[in-house]
Structure 1
Amino acid sequence: MAIHFKRLSDTRVLFDYVGAISDREVDVAHEQWFSALREADAAGRHVVLLADGTNSEGMSASQRRVTAAFTETHEALIRRVCAAQAVVIVSAIQRGIMTAILWIKPPPTDLRAFKTRAEAEAFLDDIERGAFVSKSA
């Protein structure tokens, strides 16, 4: 159905995944994320990403490969600008699989999976407070 992109603040970006996701929607989401990263980099600020998959049917294997390739291509920018990423995944099994994959192939930034959006947002709140303290110190 869609990936809804929204800037929640100057420092927080949301991707809300709803229903089945098309390849084109994944490409557009990558373009939006890249733009947000470049804008934050130019402004000298950190951002955090909230990806809410609560209402998603998930991504296909090819979409996951495209996303992994995007991350590899832009790894330096992500590492420099993105303070953390929080992913909301309702299924405990899927969260466990994601955690295991991240142990094998660590992401360029702190990336964690949560059961609820409230948990994910609390994590990002803590990260933002720390990132802002670090940048202003």
Structure 2
Amino acid sequence: MRIHLTSVFVDDQDKALRFYTEVLGFRKKTEVPLGDDRWLTVVSPEDPDGTELLLEPDGHPAVKPYKEALVEDGIPAASFAVDDVHAEFSRLRELGVRFTQEPLEMGPVTTAVLDDTCGNLIQIVHSK
């Protein structure tokens, strides 16, 4: 068994697609119109046939309070592996990305947390 798909709830799919592709560096994999929304996924360019991230509209009434509670408590909605948190932090900060947690070493891992501009906190992490 493998993880095929996971999702983040976003407040605007177009804005999310721009952020996740142009800023974070993912590639669009799937885009299927579904009424007012789309089945819209991105993948890592390093693993284009790997796990897809669904940029899922946050229109369900339960989602917005859930997202707000996570952000208020500083809890990331997702975690992405990077080769070097410090280098990625610098690269993203130069692109104007807002971080809620600067790189922090915690034993064998280093993490940082960013705002994805779509209502989520996202953690980047690397292991020693």
TM-score, structure 1 normalization:
0.29
Q: Of Structure 1 and Structure 2, which has the larger fraction of its residues in strand? A: 2
* TM-score, with structure 2 as normaliser: 0.30
Instruction: Name the structure where helix makes up a greater proportion of residues.
Output: 1
